[in-house]
Amino acid sequence: MRIFPSLLSADFRCLKTSLEPLIRAGIKQYHLDIMDGNFVPNISYGPPVIRSLRSGFPELEFDAHLMVRDPLVILEPLLEIGVEYISVHLEIDLQFKKIRELCQQYGTKLGLVYNPDTEISRGSALLEDVDFVLLMAVQPGFGGQKFRPGVLSKVDQLRSVFSGPIQLDGGVNLDNIEEIVAAGIDWVVSGSTIFESMDPAETIKQFEETV
């Protein structure tokens, strides 16, 4: 299991201070939730903030989860900044070919995201052209929501048609991590459980020890 802390629940007054203990604990990969106030009813941060993070932490890997109606508006800025992973939702009018081409051009890994109620079959035609799949276990837009266990029943179906990493995002905590990993999830995203804990680095250690 690889764990991606989601900065959505970090302290925006000082992201550097939030990140440093995790970096010291050896966490290299971070999940960045980008929202447009249209595809989801919330707005977080975008390329200017990610550019600052990139220049402050060149050694880290950034995983940009685009909860936006039109990824092409911000795709090139993000690719130029240099994020390692980009994921786009299946529920939008997806300009997949163009997105795929741009990601390939920059050597960025591309993921396809399924909302909790989206059927696996809806993405069948695209799965052979993506590097990873992200399954949402909550409706996207906000951290701190309750995990929907029904999402785990999608894993076997997805695995029968997709061999790359499967990531899960939303409501992951120390009580459900074992079940999530046992279901076949490779990468987990966790926001509030990590950043709202007394000791985020220790919480990650507990995640790792539990599985």
Interface ranges with Zn ion (CB under 5 A): 33, 65, 169
Q: Which of 33, 93, 117, 156 is catalytic?
A: 33
CA proximity to 8, closest of 38, 60, 48, 49: 49
Stretch that binds ligand DX5, among 122-130, 156-164, 178-186, 187-195 (CB under 6 A): 187-195
| Closest chain position to ligand DX5 (CB) | 191
206 sits near ligand DX5 (criterion: CB under 6 A): no
Identify what 8 binds: ligand DX5, Zn ion, none; CB under 5 to 8 Å per kind.
ligand DX5
Stretch that binds ligand DX5, among 20-28, 49-57, 151-159, 188-196 (CB under 6 A): 188-196
Identify what 206 binds: ligand DX5, Zn ion, none; CB under 5 to 8 Å per kind.
none
How many angstroms separate the CA atoms of 164 and 115, rounded?
A: 18
Please give, one letter per residue, the 3-state secondary structure of 174-189. CCCHHHHHHCCCCEEE
Q: Which of 140, 166, 200, 207 binds ligand DX5 (CB under 6 A)?
A: 140
Burial bucket for residue 146 (CB in 10 Å: 0-12, 13-18, 19+): exposed
144 sits near ligand DX5 (criterion: CB under 6 A): yes
* Residue 4 burial (CB count, 10 A): 26
DSSP string, 54-120: HHH-TTSEEEEEEE-S-THHHHHHHHHHT-SEEEEETTS---HHHHHHHHHHHT-EEEEEE-TT--G
Q: What is the largest CA-CA distance in the chain?
A: 44
The interface with ligand DX5 within residues 89-128 (CB under 6 A) comprises none
Q: Does the active-site annotation cover 33?
A: yes
Query: Shortest approach of ligand DX5 to residue 141 CB, angstroms?
Result: 5
Q: Does the active-site annotation cover 169?
A: yes
Query: Shortest approach of Zn ion to residue 25 CB, angstroms?
Result: 21
CA proximity to 187, closest of 199, 172, 201: 172
* Contact residues for ligand DX5, defined by CB under 6 A: 6, 8-9, 31, 33, 65, 138, 140-145, 169-172, 189-193
Catalytic residues: 33, 169
